[in-house]
Amino acid sequence: MQLNGDQRLEAYRRMLRIRRFEEEGMRQFKGDKIPGFFHSSVGQEAAIVGACLALRDDDAMTGTHRSHGHPIGKGAHLDALMAEVMGKEGGICKGRGGSMHFADNSVGIISESAIVGGGIPLATGCAFSARVRGVDQVTLCFFGDGAVNQGTFHESLNMASLWKLPVIYLCENNGYAITTSLAQSHGQPDIALRAAGYGMPGVTVDGQDVCAVYEAAAQAVRRARAGEGPTLIVANTYRFDEHSFGLVISGEPYRSVEEVEAHKRDRDPILLYRTVLLEEGINEESLGAVEDEVAEAVKQAVKFALASPMPRPETLPDYMFNSPLAGQYSSAAGLERN
């Protein structure tokens, strides 16, 4: 299963949308327009987009604290995402979630967890629901190499295998959990081997190669839809920026400047794919058109986000409950400070 005609340019478009969104986000962060944390996915675009493109529109997904790439990879509109990182009313989560929690339900994202490993059981449950309801929806679960050490990973993979749930566990293995390398935190650093312990296939792919990720994911989607159960895919990738924007880590460096530079130079997933597309006969003009379109979409998103108002303080309790009980917000009247 390979990326077909239209998908090939779409893969390029979505990777570029992630890259430009993140770059613009970092600029806005510097300009004090974005509060809180900002974890960028620059360098990891192929792992995200390759996996997302293997899904149907009605398939579900969960993500992580490094949350911006996932909805964009699944095709989300940029405006409400940019507004969300700025904490605006027009944000996809109405300013309640922010940078680490970009849940865009319109593209099937049920949540992004800033609790490392927190989303893995949710994805498993989402797949369980599809199984119980007898629909052929698949769930894609993103997590990092660090999350593999959480108990949730082990317990979820066991249940998914036991009940042959239609879920794909996709590890964006960028080699580090903040400052902690794989070697410092994994008794078995070959993460895909862990799948064997749960009776499911474990596949390692080059996460900088969008086609390779797509192929592995498409294969896993086929298995899942056919009722054959879960797959663990480990996409080896790299984070080009610091763990989160502006984070300064004192003490001994945990990765060398040379290592980072070499990845940026030789392993940039977007540059690698651009070369492939040119070799396959897609001309500069078509690529240029995509690049312009993406630049325009990001510009528009910033415009939308800047113009969107801040949420009004009196809306603070909104969205707490689906059906509030009478009197529930007399306690929120802690707001009025008695």
Partner 1 sequence: MLTDAQKLAPTPGTHIQMTYLEALMQAQMEEMDRDERVVLMGEDISVYGGDKLIERFGRNRIWDTPISEGSFTGMGIGAAINGLRPIVDLEFASFAYLASDQIINQASKLRYMTGGQIDIPIVFRCCMFSTGSMAAQHADRPYPLFMNVPGLKIISPTSAADIKGLMKSAIRDGDPVLVFEEKRLWPLKGDVPTDPDHVIPIGKADVKREGKDVTLIAIAGAIRPTMEAVDALAKEGISVEVIDPRTLKPLDHEAFKTSVAKTGRLVIVENGHRVCNVGSEIVAVMAEEAFDLLKRPILRLSAPDIHVPFSPSLEKDFYPTKDHIVAAVRRLL
**Phi, psi angle pair for 39, to nearest 5°:** -100, 120
Query: Can you spell out the DSSP letters for 143-158?
Result: EETGGGGSHHHHHHHH
DSSP letter for 324, please.
P
CA-based torsion, 272, 275, 280, 286: positive or negative: positive
Residue closer to ligand TPP, measured from CB, 7 or 179: 179
Site for partner 1 in 126-185 (CB under 8 A): 146-147, 149-151, 177-180, 184-185
Contacts with ligand TPP, 269-308, as mask; x by CB under 6 A: ----------------------------------------
DSSP 255: S
If the CB atoms of residues 65 and 223 are measured against ligand TPP, the closer one turns out to be 65
State yes or no: residue 43 binds ligand TPP (CB under 6 A).
Answer: no
Give the one entry of partner 1, ligand TPP, none that residue 35 binds, where binding means its C-beta sits below a cut-off of 5 to 8 angstroms depending on kind: partner 1
**Closest-CA residue to 170 (of 137, 198, 205):** 205
* 8, 277 contact by CB (below 8 A): yes
Establish if 101 lies at the interface with partner 1 (CB under 8 A). yes
Q: Which is nearer to ligand TPP, 84 or 172 (CB)?
A: 172
- Residues 148 and 39: their CA atoms lie apart, in Å, by 19
Query: Pick from 147, 159, 205, 297: which binds ligand TPP (CB under 6 A)?
Result: 147
CA of residue 38 relative to chain centroid, distance = 13
Q: What character string, x for contact with ligand TPP (CB under 6 A) and - otherwise, covers 230-259?
A: -------------x----------------
Binding mask 40-79 for partner 1 (x = CB under 8 A): ----------------------------------------
If one asks whether residue 109 binds partner 1 (CB under 8 A), the answer comes out as no
Smallest separation, CB 328 to ligand TPP (Å): 29
Half-sphere CA count of 212, side-chain side, radius 13 A? 19
DSSP, res 191: G
Min separation Cβ 275 and ligand TPP, Å: 26
Q: Which of 24, 27, 34, 87 is nearest to 300 (CA)?
A: 24
Count of helix runs (H) and strand runs (E) in the chain? 13, 8
3-class DSSP state of 73: helix
**For residues 115 and 332, which CB has a smaller minimum distance to ligand TPP in the complex?**
115
Contact code string over 153-172 relative to ligand TPP, x by CB under 6 A? -------------------x
Q: Are 164 and 138 in contact (CB under 8 A)?
A: no
The Cα-based distances of 179 to 18, 62, 192, 243, 247 in angstroms read 24, 24, 22, 8, 11
Identify which range of 140-148, 160-168, 197-205, 270-278 contacts ligand TPP by CB under 6 A: 140-148
Rounded least distance, CB 303 to partner 1, Å: 19
CA–CA dist 194, 155 (Å, integer): 12
Looking at the DSSP assignment, which residues form a beta bridge with residue 64?
Answer: 113
Using rule CB under 6 A, residue 114 touches ligand TPP = yes
The binding site for partner 1 (CB under 8 A) comprises 35-37, 87-88, 91, 93, 95-101, 113-118, 146-147, 149-151, 177-180, 184-186, 247, 249-252, 310-313, 315-317, 320, 328, 331-335, 337-338
Residues that bind ligand TPP (CB under 6 A): 65-66, 114-116, 144-147, 172, 174, 176-178, 243
